[in-house]
């Protein structure tokens, strides 16, 4: 094993870990659940410890200005990742989240569901006509890009670069960042900002009609305590919406389908009983969490497990490990689409719980449920290609046949 428990280091992981990190996570959770890495940071693998830090937003900060400065400098990546919702604390986080909230209410999701269903049905028709297909390129990725594109009012003809921009920007969050990755991420942020400027200028003079999930006009006009989002805040929270919505949902669908391929008995159960789709999606989120890592910095000295965390200590929250903690999930390495209870942490917890969790769940249920029902002989047709990232677990390619 390239990383023993004693020497485990996120900066030196290998392909075997990327393919299957769970044996390493299990060893850490059993022997050193609050592991101090060689760089001084702490890596948490127990469900209770991860949950406690998520909920303790007073002592564990999400603000990343201090952490991103060494890697990003004064670059476009630093501007983006320190302005978007996810890497900030109150009051900024509270203000922006409240402005986004109307897009994710139960009523808004019901407005969006027919659009998701219609898009999925159209993709299934295209797949039926072509036969062999790639689950990621032909199915999992187009859905969230289409939906977030609609929510932001992005013309259909202008959506081609969105996924590549998202992958480049999020790729910069990996524990190690190459010069090429840094340049690609910065270029993607700048290109996205230029693109959004024209879109926002147009929307200021041509407000979108109400309903149908459109949110850009709401973000432009909405106020919180008399304040509106600045131009820069608008840019970066629009980028954040695409990144968060695209990555989570694409990986959920891709990971879910690939897991069904590996567990044909569960695949058969879902085909036989489509009402299991809700619990099946929850189990997919637990078993192969789209987002494997979160991070916090201690604002004051704290104790986690048997370790004293100093003020300023940096903490990695290993969602992938917490979601396979046997203290909370009996037989955690068993994939069970009817598992209950299933209080996984795939969307985080506390004040930073993913704002779009309900939307991602709905997209996953519609997409996976319809794909399995439409093609009862759905099966892999080649070797999948993983995304090669630690934080975001998913596939770049997943060949399938119908």
Residue of 352, 113, 72, 379 lying closest to 240 (CA atoms) = 352
Contact residues for 330 (Cβ-Cβ < 8 A; gap 6+): none
For residue 354, what pLDDT is reported?
93
For residue 210, what pLDDT is reported?
58
Q: Is-contact 373 271, C-beta < 8 A? A: yes
Q: How many C-beta atoms surround the C-beta of residue 104 within 10 A?
A: 18
Task: Please name the residue that has the structure tokens 């044996």.
Answer: 23
Q: Is-contact 62 50, C-beta < 8 A? A: no
For residue 282, what pLDDT is reported?
98
pLDDT, block means (10 residues), the chain with 402 residues: 75 93 97 96 98 97 95 96 93 89 84 94 97 97 92 90 93 92 97 93 80 73 82 92 89 98 98 98 98 97 96 98 98 98 97 93 98 98 94 96 98
Domains and CATH numbers, the chain: 10-401 (1.10.630.10)
For residue 123, what pLDDT is reported?
98
pTM (2 d.p.)? 0.93
- pLDDT tens digits, one per residue of 39-76: 999 999 999 999 999 999 999 999 999 999 999 999 99
Half-sphere exposure at residue 156, Cβ-oriented, CA atoms within 13 angstroms: 1
């Amino acid at each position: 094993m390239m990383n023993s428990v004693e020497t485990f280091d996120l900066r030196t992981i290998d392909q075997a870990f990327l393919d299957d990190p769970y044996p390493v996570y299990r060893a850490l959770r059993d022997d050193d659940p609050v592991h101090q890495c060689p760089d001084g940071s702490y890596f948490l693998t127990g469900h209770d410890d991860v949950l406690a830090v998520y909920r303790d937003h007073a002592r564990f900060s999400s603000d990343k200005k201090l952490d991103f400065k060494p890697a990003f400098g004064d670059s476009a990546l630093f501007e983006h990742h320190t302005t978007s919702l996810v890497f900030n604390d109150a009051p900024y986080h509270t203000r922006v989240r409240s402005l986004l909230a109307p897009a994710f209410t139960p009523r808004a999701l019901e407005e969006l569901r027919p659009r998701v269903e219609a898009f999925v049905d159209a993709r299934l028709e295209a797949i039926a006509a072509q036969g062999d297909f790639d689950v990621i390129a032909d199915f999992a990725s187009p859905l969230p890009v289409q939906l977030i594109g609609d929510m932001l009012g992005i013309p259909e003809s202008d959506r081609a670069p969105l996924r590549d921009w998202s992958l480049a920007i999020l790729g910069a969050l990996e524990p190690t960042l190459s010069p090429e990755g840094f340049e690609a991420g910065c270029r993607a942020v700048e290109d996205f900002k230029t693109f959004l400027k024209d879109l926002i200028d147009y929307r200021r003079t041509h407000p979108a009609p109400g309903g149908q999930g459109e949110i850009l006009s709401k973000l432009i006009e909405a106020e919180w305590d008399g304040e509106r989002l600045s131009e820069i805040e608008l840019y970066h929270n629009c980028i954040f919406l695409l990144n968060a919505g695209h990555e989570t949902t694409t990986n959920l669908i891709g990971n879910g389908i690939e897991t069904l391929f590996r567990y044909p008995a569960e695949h058969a159960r879902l085909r036989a009983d489509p009402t299991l789709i809700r619990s099946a999606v929850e189990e997919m989120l637990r078993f192969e969490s789209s987002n494997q890592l979160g991070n916090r910095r201690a604002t004051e000295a704290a104790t986690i497990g048997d370790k004293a965390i100093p003020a300023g200590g940096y903490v990695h929250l290993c969602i992938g490990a917490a979601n396979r903690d046997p203290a909370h999930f009996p037989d955690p390495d068993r994939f069970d689409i009817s598992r209950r209870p299933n209080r996984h942490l795939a969307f985080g917890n506390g004040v930073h719980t993913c704002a779009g969790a309900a939307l991602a769940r709905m997209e996953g249920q519609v997409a996976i449920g319809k794909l399995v029902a439409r093609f009862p002989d759905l099966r892999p047709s080649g070797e999948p290609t993983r995304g090669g990232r630690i934080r975001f677990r998913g596939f770049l390619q997943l060949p399938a046949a119908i």
